[in-house]
């Protein structure tokens, strides 16, 4: 059988495009050899001949091939078809076909997610990142477009195109900022090294967008957004977000990497601790319901009058006998308790425990200042307070330690506490003296030029005056000589006339 010329690498049949990114285009396809649906990512033609982009595309295949996890889109194959008539090779990556949509499309359609769905998405994505981080791979471009969600709610991470592996050579230059500006970690925005905590920040930013329905920072260009990630605090999340979920996202988005969850595993564990307390989301399968306990003011539903009521009346004598036996047992237990404890006075009815309203929560600044912010945050949240983090640049306090709390004193459950913590100040280059005003230089140049011109003019004037005097002197001398000559001529003519008269 002759190979089919319409198949990619004589194996993969491409049917329709399903997504597109900066480096490549993703097609829905079929593996004709194994007869299974696949997704095929093809490097764009304009990058196929570029050695840097080709190396980055190979790196995506290598990084993703290291990872086998339910929350990471699997990679099946990679290949490069030799150059065609146009001289450009064709590089392709064959992946698991994930039926569903990206989280970006989901948010565009629904606007925002409730707290339960957000925690579920974060937990699943963090579980996938935990596997990547354990393998030494940092994704570096976590964003809603790279999180795929199936109709069953399963989240899968995709696009490891700019991932960095601790065991591989970097394909980006030192100090090169790479990723998507809206989800930059502060260290990425500053051109620093990406770590698993950088992926945690990006995923925390995704969680913020899910809860708020907007990105934490918006500006006119990526550079301004990157600067905001370094210095600015995002607007508060909506008031209805539970305190535990709010604290989870705020810690994931801490400016200081040492304050964040260190990696995907830590963020996953924190999300799993929150999940049981979340209300069941409409899009998730309902768990086993727990019937409420009847309270003092709750009356059981009255049963309709039936023939069974007569049978219960006949059973009253039997129940009375059982009640008498139980009462005797209770008395015996009470007597035994008196003997063992030595207490003979029963508890007065008035001393019985009664339900009281929750007391105020005492918060003293001296109990928390100088402690790690994550410990203080967890303690305050555990006591029923809401916590908002605020990074303060200072070199006087070690990074990650609490510098201030507001308010303090007696607080009510659910009150918001602003927890300030220290972060290292961003190095600021030494001020450079401003250049001299060019207008001053121009005026000085003009003044010097005018002075030089005046000097030359004076010298020229003196020279001209000297020349004029010399010429005048010469003219007077010549005139005198001419006058003398004329006088002599006249004297000679007179003598000649006188001599002629004598003759």
Contacts of 223 by beta carbon, 8 Å cutoff, 6+ apart:
181
Q: 4 to each of 8, 64, 219, 368, how far by Cα in Å?
A: 9, 29, 51, 71
Q: H-helix or E-strand containing 95?
A: strand 90-96
Q: H-helix or E-strand containing 341?
A: helix 316-341
Given the residues 120, 141, 159, 263, the one annotated as active site: 141
Concatenated DSSP letters for 253-288?
T-SSTTTS-SSHHHHHHHHHHHGGGSPPPTTS----
20 forms bridges with which residues in the sheet?
25
Asked if 167 contacts 132 with a C-beta cutoff of 8 angstroms, the reply is no
Q: Any catalytic annotation for residue 141?
A: yes
Asked if 53 contacts 88 with a C-beta cutoff of 8 angstroms, the reply is no
DSSP, collapsed to helix, strand or coil, labels residue 404 as strand
Helix axes 264-274, 115-134, angle to 10 degrees: 150
Copy the structure tokens of residue 156: 């899968």
Asked if 134 contacts 109 with a C-beta cutoff of 8 angstroms, the reply is no
Residues taking part in catalysis: 141
């Amino acid at each position: 059988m002759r190979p089919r010329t319409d198949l990619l690498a004589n194996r993969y049949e491409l049917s329709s495009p399903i997504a597109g990114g900066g480096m490549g285009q993703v097609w829905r396809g079929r593996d004709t050899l194994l007869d299974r649906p696949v997704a095929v990512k093809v490097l764009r033609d304009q990058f196929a001949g570029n050695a840097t982009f080709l190396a980055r595309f190979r790196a995506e295949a290598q990084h993703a091939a290291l990872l086998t996890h339910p929350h990471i889109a699997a990679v099946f194959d990679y290949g490069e078809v030799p150059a065609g008539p146009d001289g450009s090779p064709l590089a392709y990556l064959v992946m698991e076909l994930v039926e569903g949509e990206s989280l970006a499309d989901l948010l565009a359609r629904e606007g925002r997610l409730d707290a339960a769905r957000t925690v579920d998405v974060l937990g699943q994505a963090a579980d996938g990142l935990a596997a990547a981080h354990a393998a030494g791979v940092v994704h570096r471009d976590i964003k809603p477009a790279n999180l795929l969600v199936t109709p069953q709610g399963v989240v899968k991470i995709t696009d490891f195109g700019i991932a960095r592996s601790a065991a591989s050579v970097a394909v980006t230059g030192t100090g090169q900022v790479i990723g998507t500006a809206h989800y930059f970690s502060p260290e990425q925005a500053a051109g620093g090294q990406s770590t698993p905590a950088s992926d945690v920040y990006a995923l925390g930013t995704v969680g913020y967008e899910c809860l708020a329905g907007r990105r934490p920072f918006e500006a006119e260009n990526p550079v301004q957004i990157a600067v905001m990630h370094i210095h600015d605090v995002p607007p508060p999340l909506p008031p209805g977000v539970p305190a535990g979920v709010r604290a989870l996202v705020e810690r994931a988005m801490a400016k200081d990497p040492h304050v964040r969850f260190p990696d995907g595993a830590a963020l996953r564990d924190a999300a799993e601790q929150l999940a049981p307390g979340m209300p069941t989301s409409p899009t998730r399968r309902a768990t086993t319901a727990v019937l409420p306990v009847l309270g003092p003011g709750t009356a059981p539903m009255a049963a309709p009058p039936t023939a069974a009521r007569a049978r219960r009346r006949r059973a009253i004598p039997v129940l009375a006998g059982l009640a008498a036996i139980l009462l005797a047992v209770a008395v015996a237990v009470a007597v035994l308790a008196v003997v063992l404890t030595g207490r003979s006075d029963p508890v007065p009815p008035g001393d019985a425990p009664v339900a009281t309203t929750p007391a105020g929560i005492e918060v003293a600044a001296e109990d928390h200042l100088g402690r790690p912010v994550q410990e203080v945050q967890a303690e305050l949240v555990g006591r029923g307070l809401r916590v908002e983090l605020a990074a303060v640049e200072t070199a006087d306090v070690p990074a990650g330690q609490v510098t201030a709390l507001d308010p303090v004193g007696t607080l009510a459950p659910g009150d918001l506490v602003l927890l300030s913590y220290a972060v290292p100040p961003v190095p600021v280059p030494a001020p450079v003296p401003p250049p001299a005003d060019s207008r001053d230089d121009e005026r000085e140049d003009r003044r010097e030029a005018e002075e030089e011109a005046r000097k030359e003019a004076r010298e020229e004037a003196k020279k001209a005056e000297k020349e004029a005097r010399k010429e005048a002197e010469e003219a007077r001398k010549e005139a005198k000589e001419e006058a003398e000559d004329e006088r002599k001529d006249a004297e000679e003519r007179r003598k000649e006339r006188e001599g002629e008269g004598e003759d």
